Amino acid sequence: LGNLAGFLPLISQVGGVSIARGMDTLSISFFLIGLLIALQRWRRPEFLFLVVWWAVMLVPSIIAPEGPMPHLRRAIGTAAPAFILASVGLVLPLAYLAQRRPRWQPGLIAAGALIAAIPLFTLARHTYVDYYLPQSTNEAYALINHIYDFELADVMAAEGDANTAYILPVDTSAGAIFPESSTLAFLYQHRGQAEYAYIWDNEAALFSDTANLLNGKNRVGLIRWKVSKHSKADPRHLFEYVLERAGDFDGLSTHKYVDITYYQLDSNAKPVYPSAVGGRRSAVAFSGQFALTGAAIAPETPADEPLWVELTWKKLGAEPLDLQVGLWLEDNAGHIAGRADHPLLSDQLHRYTANWETGAEERDYALISADPGTPPGDYRLKVILYWLDEAGQSHRLAPLAEDVGADLALQLGETRLLPYKTILPFEAHNIPPTMYEAILGEDSLHLLSVSGLPDALRPGDRGTLELWWRSMGDATSKGSVALQLVASGQTITLSPAQPLGGEDYPTQKWPEGMTIRQYLDYALPADAPAGDYQLQLTLIPFKTGRIYLGSVTLAGRPRQFEAPPMAHRLNADFDGKITLLGFDASLSPEKADITLYWQAQREMDAPYKVFAHLLDKDGQIIAQMDREPQNGEAPTTSWLPGEVIVDKIEIPGQNLAAVDKIIVGLYNSADGKRLSVLETGETSYELRMTAKRDK
C-alpha cells in the first residue's frame, strides 16, 4: 500500500473515489530498508516469520485475475507486516547509531519520533481528504453502509411520538428485507416512541399491513428513501392513494437521505381497501388492445381534496405498447378542471403493459385533484388510454363505445365537488398576471385577471375567457356576468348572463378570501356587422355594472346567395342543416382539385369540418383532407340561411391514378359525429361521376 514518488500509484478505488494511501514516499522508503534488514537476518525466527507473512499475504493479489475487486484490495493482508517492516527500517538504524554514538541518543529519539509522526500525519490527511470527504457525499457509500438508516433513526426519534406511525415502503422487485436485524432496528430501539413497519408495495400486503399499522394512530409519516435499494418502491403511488383517502396532507420533512410526507388521519376514517369496481354493463375495448372491465370513483369530495378512482384493465392484443392512463374532470361545458396522468403498471414487479401477458387483468389506482379555484359543483370524469412515441407525441387508443367524441375519451361517471374545507392561499392559484382590480359595489369582489381576450373577431367565432375572482367580504346577492360588444349605441351579446361561480356555488357562498376561476364561453352571431367595438363585461346586480376589457375589431367576409355554375349538381341534404348543391373535380397523378358548393339551410351553433377522402377499389384511403370550409375562413357557425359557400379543396398525394372514388361529408369538430345524408342515411356522400383526369 504505497505511493513511491507518484511512480507506483497503488490507490484503492471504490466507485472511482480513492479510499486511502497507506504509505507515502517516506514510509515506503523505510519499508524497503526494513525488508532488506529482515532478508539479511532471515535466520532469526522473528525476521523469517515477518518476511514469510508478508510474502504469503501477497499471493491472492498475484494469482487472482483483475475483476470488480482491484488487486490492491486483495493484498490488504500485507498491511500489518508492511507497517512492521517500515518500523524495523526506521528503528533498527537509529538503534545502531545510538549504540555507536551514545551522546546522540536523545537527539536520535527525537528525530525518530518526528520521522514517525510525518507518515502518521500524512496517513491521517489522506484518509480525510481521499476517503472521508468524498464518501460523505457518495451515494454508493451511503448505500453499502446504510448511512440513510442513521439519519432516519434520528429523524423518527425527533419528529415522531406515540401517536405517530411510519411506513417504510419495500420494493417487491428489489429483494427481501429483514426488519428485526436491520440497521434501523438496532439504532432506533429504546430511542423513539413511534411505531414503524416495512411494508411491501404489492396489493396483497399494502392495504392490510397499512391498516394494521395505522390502527389507533392519528398521524403517519410515509418514508421515501433517496439512497436505498428500495428508493424506487411503490411506483404506482399506492401508499399516497391509501393515506390521502384516510387523512389529510400534514407537511413534508426533507432531509439528506430521506423525505417524509406526513398525513393527519381522520378520526372516523375506516381502513382503506380496494373498492368493488363496476359502473358499466360490459367491458369497453380500446382499439382491440386493452379493455376497461371495471371502474369505481368517489361520488363526492371536497374541492380541495383529491378524488379517488379505481379501474380494472385487461390486455386483449399482443401489440407491445407501454400505455399511459389519462384522467380528467370536466364541467358540463367541456372545460377541464383537473387532470392526472400515470403509466399503467402491473401489481407484481411493476411491469409496463408491453410486458403483460395477453389476458392479464390488473387493478389501477389514481388520485385526481381539481385545479385550485375550481368552483364546487357537478363534474364528469373521463379517461383516455395512450402511448408515447420516441418524439414524445401521444397517440390515443379509440374506445369502442357510443358516447365517445373526437377526444377519444370515455366517460366513467359523474362526481360532485363539495365546498372547500379550507381557503387556499393566494399563491396556490396559477393566476395570469393581474390585469384588473375593480371592486364591484358593496359586495367587495375583485376581478383579478382575464385571459383569452381576442385581438380580432369574425362572424360566428367561438371562444372562452378565463376570469379570476376573489371575495373580499361576505356577498349579499347572487352575482351574474355577461359579455358584450359595444359600439355607437349598438350592443351585441356574446354571452348571456351567467351566475358567478356557477349555479352550485353562487357568490353568497364565497367566504372572505376565496378565489374562484370561471370560464365564460362566448359566440359571435353570424350576422354581426363589421366594425370596431369595445369588449365589455356586464355585472348584475353590482353598482360597478360594466368593466371594459379593451378594443376589438370585428372583420366581415364576402357572402353570396346565388349558386354559381358547377359541373355536377347533387342537392344532397345533410341532416336538414346543409345542402351539397354540387361539385367540380379533376385528378392528376400528384393531386386532386375538388370544389364543393354548400348552402346553409339555417344558422348553426356547431363548427363542422369538411372531409374529402380518395379511395382505391378496395375502399382504402389513398389521400384525404379534413378542415373547416375555405381553410377556416368560413366556419359553419358564420353561415347565414341560404348562403352559398364555394369550398375549393386541393389534396396532394402519390399514385392518385389508383383513385376509384371520392367521398365527402361533414362532422362536428367538437365530438367527431358526422352529419347524415337524409336520402341514404349514410354519413358520407360518394361523388358519383367520372372525374376529369389530367395526365
Residue 145: what pLDDT? 65
Into which CATH architecture does domain 568-693 fall? Sandwich (2.60)
140 — pLDDT class (breaks 50, 70, 90): low
pLDDT at 9 > cutoff 70: no
> Tell me, what's the pLDDT at 99?
83
- At 14 the pLDDT is 36
Cis? peptide before 541, omega within 30° of 0: yes
Mean local confidence (pLDDT), 432-459 = 75
Cα 672 to Cα 609: distance, rounded to the nearest angstrom: 9
Q: Give the three cell numbers for residue 111.
A: 528525530
Stretch 598-626: mean pLDDT, rounded?
A: 93
Domain limits, the chain:
13-137, 146-265, 284-418, 428-554, 568-693
Question: Beta 164-170 vs 219-225: how paired, if at all?
Answer: parallel
Q: What is the mean pLDDT of residues 647-668?
A: 90
pLDDT value of residue 17: 36
Residue 612 has what pLDDT? Answer: 94
Using alpha carbons only, give the angle 49, 55, 59 rounded to the nearest 5 degrees: 140
- Looking at per-residue pLDDT, the higher value among 400 and 77 belongs to 400
pLDDT higher at 483 or 271: 483
The domain 284-418 having CATH identifier 2.60.40.2550: the answer here is yes
User: Rounded to whole angstroms, what are the CA distances from 632 to 225, 460, 535, 577?
Assistant: 54, 11, 24, 19
Q: Tell me the fold of 428-554.
A: Immunoglobulin-like (2.60.40)
Of 664, 637, 234, 284, the C-alpha closest to 463 is 637
Residue 486 neighbours by CB under 8 Å, 6+ apart: 492, 533, 534, 536
Q: What average pLDDT does range 255-280 have in this prediction?
A: 83
Residues 345-373 have a mean pLDDT of: 95
Long-range contacts at 131-139 (CB < 8 A, ≥ 24 apart): 131/18, 131/19, 131/20, 134/17, 134/18, 135/17, 135/19, 138/15, 138/17, 139/227
Mean pLDDT of the chain: 86
The reply to whether 428-554 and 568-693 are identical in fold is: yes
Residues in contact with 535: Cβ distance below 8 Å, sequence separation at least 6, in sequence order: 453, 454, 483, 484, 485, 548, 549, 550, 551, 552
pLDDT in tens, 157-191: 999 999 999 999 999 888 777 777 788 888 898 88
- Please tell me the total number of residues recorded for the chain in this structure: 695
Helix/strand/coil (H/E/C) assignment for every residue in 603-634: CCCCCEEEEEEEECCCCCEEEEEEECHHHHCC
**Bigger pLDDT: 57 vs 3:** 57
Q: Which of 306-320, 402-416, 635-649 has the lowest mean pLDDT?
A: 402-416
Question: Which of 22-31, 55-64, 91-100, 476-485 shows the lowest mean pLDDT across its residues?
Answer: 22-31
pLDDT digits (tens, 9 = 90+) for 303-334: 999 999 999 999 999 889 999 999 999 999 99
Q: What is the pLDDT of residue 65?
A: 63
> Lowest mean pLDDT: which of 357-361, 430-434, 635-639?
430-434
Q: What is the pLDDT of residue 522?
A: 95
Q: Residue 445: pLDDT band by 50, 70, 90 thresholds? A: confident
Question: What pLDDT, on a 0 to 100 scale, did the predictor assign at position 515?
Answer: 92
Give the pLDDT score at 280. 52
Q: What are phi and psi of 516, to 5 degrees?
A: -130, 135
